[in-house]
Amino acid sequence: MAPGGTGAPTGDTVPGDFAGTVPLEGGRRVYVECRGSGSPTVVLVSGTGGAADEWTHAVDPAEPAAAPAPSASAVLPTVASFTRVCAYDRPGTMRFDDRPSRSTPVPQPTTAAEGAADLRAVLSAADEHGPYVLVGASWGAMITTLSACTGVPRVAGLVTVDGASTHLRDTLTPAQWSDWMRRIDEMKGPKGLEVPDYTASVAEIRTAPPLSFPLPAVVLTSDKPWDLQVGDSGSTWPAWLAAQNRLAVELRARHVTDTDSGHAIAVERPQVVSQAVREVVGQVRNGSRNQSR
């Protein structure tokens, strides 16, 4: 299927690069882009408001203040060099050139459970098969965490990229959490931009069954301080780091803290993300070989 197509490859088509929209129930369509070959299939899930180009663009190290631009060193093309990889536009997201998502809008706010359901539906509609390594950035990590527990079968590995988690509900002070939820609520509007419902999503994840067994996992954490900037209740940076530590313990993951990056690790330091993905993919492949002996 040529880039810009409007359907998924058929079952008898040799898998190859694909970029286009796939149909979901209810008449919706979601844009998905897949490249490369091999197993497991890596699925890249962007942060709040981020479209698939969060994984095809990177910041030029020579001009760090410039906007991200298409790059061969970005996460998606790099991962495509060693396995199958897909990224997609969640409804209500925006591309770096300020154009809206190519996916059909949905009512907002949205929850992690709705994101996990869409992720599963997109992979099915695009005829992409597991096992899967799920890579979640920021809000996307809430979706991938829940997907690993309930939403997507055959999840074999996880990478979180400065990922949000339920632990923030505990590490942020009550005032900081309240200020953050108020700020998110102010994002609601007639344009249909993505608005995560963190409160509902925390409840969804905490009531979901835990992972039945540890998965190969890497947690990537920013090491250049940044802040949610949600009010005058103090810096949220310490709470973010504490939540990252708890997430790594929860997932029994290797925790990488020397990322030389702010929050947007995927575009600031794509090679760090690609290396983490390569590590988990290698562990999944080794595990598959060991099981077949």
User: With the CA atoms of 225, 147, 77 and 227 taken in that order, what torsion angle do they form, in degrees rounded to the nearest 10?
Assistant: -10
Domains of the chain in start order, with CATH, are: 18-292 (3.40.50.1820)
- Token readout for 52 is 């698939």
Quote the crossing angle between the two packed helices 112-125 and 139-146, to the nearest 10°.
70
Pairing of strands 69-70, 41-45: unpaired
Pairing of strands 132-137, 41-45: parallel
Q: d(Cα 134, Cα 280) in Å, to the nearest integer? A: 10
- Beta carbons of 56 and 273 less than 8 angstroms apart: no
- What is residue 11's predicted lDDT score, i.e. its pLDDT? 34
- Beta carbons of 252 and 148 less than 8 angstroms apart: no
Cα angle at 144 between 219 and 156, to 5 degrees? Answer: 75
pTM summary value: 0.92
pLDDT per residue rounded down to tens, the chain (293 residues) = 333 343 443 333 335 899 999 999 999 999 999 999 999 999 999 999 999 999 999 999 888 888 899 999 999 999 999 999 999 999 999 999 999 999 999 999 999 999 999 999 999 999 999 999 999 999 999 999 999 998 788 999 999 999 999 999 999 999 999 999 999 988 887 678 999 999 999 999 999 998 878 899 999 999 999 999 888 889 999 999 999 999 999 999 999 999 999 999 999 999 999 999 999 999 999 986 555 44
pLDDT digit string (tens) for 108-120? 999 999 999 999 9
- What is residue 5's predicted lDDT score, i.e. its pLDDT? 40
Strand order in the sheet with 18-23: 18-23, 29-35, 85-88, 41-45, 132-137, 155-161, 217-220, 254-256
- Token readout for 90 is 């969640």
- Beta carbons of 6 and 104 less than 8 angstroms apart: no
Q: d(Cα 162, Cα 85) in Å, to the nearest integer? A: 20
